[in-house]
Structure 1
Amino acid sequence: MKFARDTWLIFQRQFLLLIRQPVWLFVGIFQPVMYLLLFAPLLKPALQASSNAEAYRIFVPGLLVLLAIFGGLFQGFGLIAELRAGVIERSRVTPVSRLALLLGRSLRDVVSLIAQAIIITLLALGFGLSVFIGDLLLAYLLLALIALMTSALSYGIALVVKSEDALAPLMNTIAQPVLLLSGILLPLTFAPGWLQGIADWNPFSWAVDGARALFAGDLGNDAVWQGLSVMTVITALAVAWAAREFARSVR
């Protein structure tokens, strides 16, 4: 009970800070909306899709995974600002659970991501996307796991490097190959065999395949459960490692 209460208190504080600066929500969805408006219309002829709905069922899941990855990976910058302001230092004298310090922040990031994903999905519906609500909710669960994992990873790395100058290039170095080897913008079925072989080692490519299967209404597809399983395991590992870094920094 204490752990749940501590997590809720941290989440409340972090969420209040977020809604006091709502511009970040709009900044976060600006790039995905631009992709949706300016890139997605090219997909139907490029993918030789039979309809706009088919093209958007391929593109929108990848776009949402992109939003979850990048939205989480760069959360560490805020934590470095808190370190510099002494917020983390003052946490040493409180009885708050060290794991709650991480999860409260990460859950705020998950809620923010889901809100942005709902906006993107609603916009895509106007362009011809169609998806069953049950499949959509399961896809959002997959996105939540990705956001939780990437934000926890970002917080943990931020506690290690303690510098924006080090965090920025490191996150970009991680994000670039993840983007290119996950089939986010275009399915990897169009890639040569050697590239597909490399992408098989990228856990986010499994998540993208699972999300696309859900948007296509193919709940029984192995990619759905493989993607959920892979992301659940990696998320648990990332949270455990980041929580350990919080415990080291706040004691």
Structure 2
Amino acid sequence: MSTVTTTRTGSFMSDTANVLTRELRPLLREPFGMVISLMQPLVFLALFAPLLPDLGPGMSALQWFVPGIVAMSCLMGSSMVGASLMQEMVSGSHERLLVSPLSRSSLLVGRALREIVPTMAQTLVILAIVTPFSFDLHPVGVLVGIAVLAVFCIGVGGLSFALALASKDQDWLFWTVQQIFIFPTLLLAGMLLPVNDGPGWLRFLSQLNPLTYVIEAERALFAGSFPAGTVLAGVAAAAVVAAAGLTIGLRSMKRSS
């Protein structure tokens, strides 16, 4: 039994690596797209960070704001997984992949993980820019934070995947639903502005948002602290989103085929 499980795990990892490599090739051939995607977080950083006051000793505005920007890049990128899927459905390459020996879970996870590479590149650039100022760099915390975001990206990518399958031949439906959910999710998580001093209904909605706990964990990790409750809550929220995204995405793939 353990041998079979090990074989299946190895096959899944190998298939996921193959899918990820396939998805990264166009990105590496045309890195200009990655440069363009970097502009948005830099614009937010330049326009919003100067407006935020320092939050107390050891917590500058940049220390608080940068993890939210990194999480925003992750969410925006992974929510676009469905967009590339719709292009593949039009060209017929998605159908060819479905009849290949690759497992469907690896197709989903590999595509979602593709968005982690631009996120890591953006994170490195952002950290290089802000570290000379009032941002304290803690490499271990940053690496753990990116790992948590990777798990979260898998879930969001799965949900985006399912939305694309449900929106087949109706691009407007995908973009409408994606835009309706993406920005409220970011704002309710306190990415740009703290929600702690907001009205009760806003704080309540924020507590229902799994991204809230992920961003709180990111801020703690990027600051070099590892409060067990905050970090575990972020890991649990990312895991729940990943499980939900994979379940819904795989069911959508089975129904569509």
Query: Is TM (by shorter chain) over 0.5?
Result: yes
Structure 2: distance between partners of 1:92 and 1:238: 19
Distance 1:145 1:2, change over 3 A: closer
* Aligned counterpart, 1:10: 19
Match of 1:54 among 54, 60, 65: 60
* Aligned counterpart, 1:43: 52
* Aligned counterpart, 2:6: none
Structure 2: distance between partners of 1:160 and 1:202: 24
Structure 1 residue 167 and structure 2 residue 174: aligned?
yes
Distance 1:215 1:6, change over 3 A: closer
Q: Which amino acid aligns with 2:104?
A: R
Counterparts of residues 1-251 of structure 1 (less than 5 Å): 1-44=10-53, 47=54, 54-162=60-168, 163-250=170-257
Shift of 1:6: 1.9
Q: Which amino acid aligns with 1:231?
A: A
Structure 1: distance between partners of 2:236 and 2:11: 29
SS in structure 2 at match of 1:189: coil
**Identity over aligned pairs, percent:** 32
Structure 2: distance between partners of 1:166 and 1:55: 37
Shift of 1:34: 1.1
Structure 2: distance between partners of 1:84 and 1:221: 46
SS in structure 2 at match of 1:186: coil
When the two structures are superposed, what TM-score results if normalisation uses the length of structure 1?
0.90
Distance 1:11 1:101, change over 3 A: same
Structure 2: distance between partners of 1:99 and 1:7: 8
Shift of 1:48: 5.9
Shift of 1:131: 3.0
Structure 2: distance between partners of 1:15 and 1:41: 35
Shift of 1:221: 4.8
Q: Tell me, which stretches of 5 or more residues in structure 2 are unaligned? A: 1-9
Structure 2: distance between partners of 1:116 and 1:210: 19
1:108-151 CA distance string (max 9 Å, x none): 12222222222222222133210322211111122212222212
Q: Which amino acid aligns with 1:184?
A: M
SS in structure 1 at match of 2:52: helix
Distance 1:38 1:176, change over 3 A: closer
- Work out whether residues 188 and 212 of structure 2, in 8 Å CA contact, stay in contact via their aligned partners in 1: yes
Structure 1: distance between partners of 2:143 and 2:42: 21
Q: Tell me, which stretches of 5 or more residues in structure 1 are unaligned? A: none
SS in structure 2 at match of 1:83: helix
Structure 1: distance between partners of 2:113 and 2:201: 37
Structure 2: distance between partners of 1:121 and 1:234: 27
Residues paired across the two proteins, number: 247
Computed over aligned residues only, the root mean square deviation of the Cα atoms, in angstroms, reads: 1.9
Distance 1:220 1:100, change over 3 A: same
Shift of 1:246: 2.4
Of the structure 1 ranges 217-226 and 177-186, higher mean CA displacement relative to structure 2 is found in 217-226
